[in-house]
Amino acid sequence: MANPVPPRDRTDQPWRSEGAPPPPPPQPPKRKMPGGWVGLVLTALVVYLVANLILSFFNEGTEATISYTEFSKQVADGNVSKIYSKGDTIQGQLKKEQPTPSGSGHGGKNYTKFKTERPSFADDNLWSDLEKHHVTVTAEPVVKERSFLSNLLISLAPMFLLVFLWIFIARRMSQGMGGAGGMLGRKQPPKPVELEPGKKRTTFADVAGIDEVEGELNDVVDFLKNPDAYRAMGAKMPRGVLLAGPPGTGKTLLARAVAGEAGVPFFSASASEFIEMIVGVGASRVRELFAEARKVAPSIIFIDEIDTIGRARGGGSGMGGHDEREQTLNQILTEMDGFTGSEGVIVIAATNRADVLDPALTRPGRFDRIVNVSPPDRGGREAILDIHTRDIPLAPDVDLAQVARTTPGMTGAELANLTNEAALIAVKRGQRQVTQADLSEALEKVQLGAERPLVMPEEERRRTAYHESGHALLGMLQPGADPVRKITIVPRGRALGVTLSTPESDKYAFTEEYLRGRIIGALGGMAAEHVVYGVITTGAENDLEQVTSIARGMVGRWGMSEKVGRLSALPGDAQQAYGLAAAPETLDAIDGEMRRIVDECYEEACHKLRDNRHKLDALAQALLESETLEESDAYRIAGVTRLHKE
């Protein structure tokens, strides 16, 4: 299984990276304090003064200043427990609190600790009175004053808190601003994610089914491994490689395999991740990405879904040619033009809409190598199934070659989903291995849809059986038609019944006979209802959509009509071009020829079903009894010999 791309470590980082060395520690820019240091010093001074006032207020409230007369009275009353004297200043503590004398500045409060001054002219017997009332004379102050250092630290604490908050707010504001567009979503330039040392990289061993594409990309790998050999010959590697193909064919996996095979850093991003509401952000992110890739060159930049920003410019799609998408595209073009060919940075992009890309993007010198990635053939599908079942225990009866034969047109992603569905089914059944039956059921679920527990009336059930039997019987009788693999009247997805037909081998070009056969087979259900019941129901809606698409292509695109001629009257996407790409007379001719072909095929379908009514009845009766018929049983019951052997 492929290794997942390391996640981004920041939400604003528009890319991910593999194999990049650790970036140097960032040097934070010097930030200027809002308001300047003068404002900070003035604010700190104010805080210091306020704190000192508050502290002095609390210090004054710890003791009362009383008169010496009051002190003598308290000593005479025996209410003094201890005193401390330094010169004429006396500090002391009472046994019982007393109301503060008026005029002391502490009116209305009681006190136990006091301070007084003994007059120099006092001629009393203070010592004898103290001894008489057992007053302790201590050697330490009763009320200890804080030292200057303690007062300083306590007063500076609010200032330190203020400074901390100031710096914190300044940092947040600086990071939020991030330059001119910061408040609008732009942040500091992100750094690439470092791949864990020793982590396994994706290589070509993890890629299968697209060998011809690997050959195209081996040139890139060889250039990254041996750049000196190319420089010696004066050769330059293509600056960009565009991988074009349907979804799920492994374009992203291929790009990662190239980087893993070459052992170089790999930067990947989706094109939509560069786009922001604010004009200029996408271009800035592109510059950062290419700058990071150059730092660790040789390296690979991979841009997925590049058609998001690489669509053809002009046509009034933007605002005066200066919208965000066009600026981002212009920046990519500029960055690719800046490569000298010796920098060792290669850009790989992927898209499933190569036809809408801007010509400036695909010209030589930018994406000058276009590699088409197609769905795998039978051998490729078998190899892909081998890769995706590496970690899945398979039962001895599993035949991956048979699964590959019955899955034409499926991409690597669809095959991966198929094997995962089979593993889920095995877990639900309590098995320890995935069997061939699990794979078959998973294939039915993927191709036909999940079963629906729908109870149909008997008459509708019978009509559905004839509808599916009509599809199957015409598929068996029509020369060159795809073999019928399974018939079921069990409701699946949106359908009440399903007939599965797949080719015995991959087809890359279709003949007119084969396409007419497909139209006849698709009309078989409607024809069977018409032959048996004489009615037409809404069950043929999907069949008619297929018929219309095939007939339109035959007449308007592939030159299979004598009246319209050998021209492509409906080029490109027929759904969009229909009614726009040709003259009204031509469109009328296309419409008439489509009706002619479909009417002829419908008449032939009804004729064959009438001639083989007994086979149609036998198939319908077997479906009513068994609900599902496999390929061998269906051909046996219909009495039709298989003309194509695998």
pLDDT average, residue stretch 472-478: 87
Residue 424: the pLDDT is 92
Residue 47's pLDDT band, with cuts at 50, 70 and 90, is low
pLDDT of residue 312 exceeding 60: yes
- What percentage of the chain carries pLDDT values higher than 70? 76
Taking a C-beta distance cutoff of 8 angstroms, is the pair 192, 20 a contact? yes
Residue 206: the pLDDT is 78
Q: Of the candidates 226, 228, 231, 335, which has an alpha carbon nearest to the alpha carbon of residue 290?
A: 335
The string of DSSP letters for 425-446 reads: HHHHTT-SSB-HHHHHHHHHHH
Taking a C-beta distance cutoff of 8 angstroms, is the pair 324, 279 a contact? yes
Residue 643: the pLDDT is 59
pLDDT average, residue stretch 554-572: 82
Most confident of 149-163, 260-274, 393-407: 393-407
Residue 581: the pLDDT is 62
Residue, of 179 and 10, whose pLDDT is higher: 10
3-state secondary structure of 597: helix
Q: Is 249 marked as a binding-site residue?
A: yes
Taking a C-beta distance cutoff of 8 angstroms, is the pair 259, 6 a contact? no
3-state secondary structure of 366: coil
Residue, of 79 and 47, whose pLDDT is higher: 79
Residue 61: the pLDDT is 46
3-state secondary structure of 287: helix
pLDDT average, residue stretch 520-526: 90
**pLDDT tens-digit series, residues 476-488:** 888 777 888 888 8
Tokens of residue 490, six digits: 């069990």
Residue 573: the pLDDT is 52
Q: Which positions are catalytic?
A: 468
How far is residue 475's CA from residue 483's CA, in Å, rounded to a whole number?
A: 7
Distance of CA 625 to the CA centre of its chain: 48
- Residue 469, amino acid: S
Residue 316: the pLDDT is 46
Tokens of residue 41, six digits: 């010093």
Q: Is 252 marked as a binding-site residue?
A: yes
The side-by-side arrangement of strands in the sheet containing 136-137 is 64-65, 110-117, 89-99, 80-86, 136-137
Which DSSP letter does residue 250 get? S
pLDDT of residue 319 exceeding 50: no
- Domains of the chain with CATH codes: 16-24+192-372 (3.40.50.300), 63-142 (3.30.720.210), 378-448 (1.10.8.60), 458-638 (1.20.58.760)
Residue 606: the pLDDT is 93
The structure tokens 């933007």 sit at 318
Neighbours of 436 (CB within 10 A): 17
Q: Of the candidates 273, 279, 269, which has an alpha carbon nearest to the alpha carbon of residue 184?
A: 279
Q: Is 246 marked as a binding-site residue?
A: yes
Residue 188: the pLDDT is 43
pLDDT average, residue stretch 178-187: 41
Residue 187's pLDDT band, with cuts at 50, 70 and 90, is very low
pLDDT of residue 179 exceeding 50: no
Backbone angles phi, psi at 615, to 5 degrees: -70, -40
> What average pLDDT does the structure give for the chain?
76
Helices (H), 397-540: 400-405, 412-428, 436-448, 458-477, 512-522, 524-533
Taking a C-beta distance cutoff of 8 angstroms, is the pair 231, 356 a contact? no
pTM: 0.63
Residue 634: the pLDDT is 87
Among 146-150, 235-239, 424-428, 551-555, the range scoring the smallest mean pLDDT is: 146-150
How far is residue 346's CA from residue 367's CA, in Å, rounded to a whole number?
A: 10
Distances from the Cα of 484 to the Cα of 377, 382, 406, 466, 544, angstroms: 20, 22, 11, 15, 19
The side-by-side arrangement of strands in the sheet containing 498-501 is 498-501, 484-488, 628-630
Residue 645: the pLDDT is 45
How far is residue 350's CA from residue 242's CA, in Å, rounded to a whole number?
A: 6
Residue 577's pLDDT band, with cuts at 50, 70 and 90, is very low
Neighbours of 334 (CB within 10 A): 13
Q: Is 248 marked as a binding-site residue?
A: yes
How far is residue 2's CA from residue 256's CA, in Å, rounded to a whole number?
A: 9
Residue 125: the pLDDT is 75
- Residue 324, amino acid: E
Residue 146: the pLDDT is 60
Residue 4: the pLDDT is 47
Q: Is 247 marked as a binding-site residue?
A: yes
**pLDDT tens-digit series, residues 264-305:** 888 888 877 777 655 667 778 888 888 888 888 788 888 888
The side-by-side arrangement of strands in the sheet containing 345-351 is 16-18, 266-270, 299-304, 345-351, 240-244, 369-372
Q: Is 397 marked as a binding-site residue?
A: no
Q: Is 471 marked as a binding-site residue?
A: yes
Backbone angles phi, psi at 486, to 5 degrees: -160, 145
**pLDDT tens-digit series, residues 64-107:** 788 778 888 888 878 888 887 777 778 788 878 778 776 555 55
Sign for the CA dihedral angle at 5, 10, 11, 14 comes to negative
- Residue 249, amino acid: T
Q: Is 328 marked as a binding-site residue?
A: no
Q: Is 265 marked as a binding-site residue?
A: no
Residue, of 266 and 642, whose pLDDT is higher: 266
Q: Of the candidates 406, 631, 411, 439, which has an alpha carbon nearest to the alpha carbon of residue 505?
A: 406
The string of DSSP letters for 189-214 reads: PP-PPPPPTTPPPP-GGG--S-HHHH
| H helix or E strand, kind and range, residue 159 | helix 148-177
Residue 37: the pLDDT is 59
Q: Of the candidates 289, 297, 292, 295, which has an alpha carbon nearest to the alpha carbon of residue 344?
A: 297
How far is residue 370's CA from residue 349's CA, in Å, rounded to a whole number?
A: 10
pLDDT of residue 536 exceeding 80: yes
Distances from the Cα of 260 to the Cα of 194, 207, 617, angstroms: 15, 12, 59
Residue 182: the pLDDT is 40
Backbone angles phi, psi at 366, to 5 degrees: -120, -105
Residue 579: the pLDDT is 46
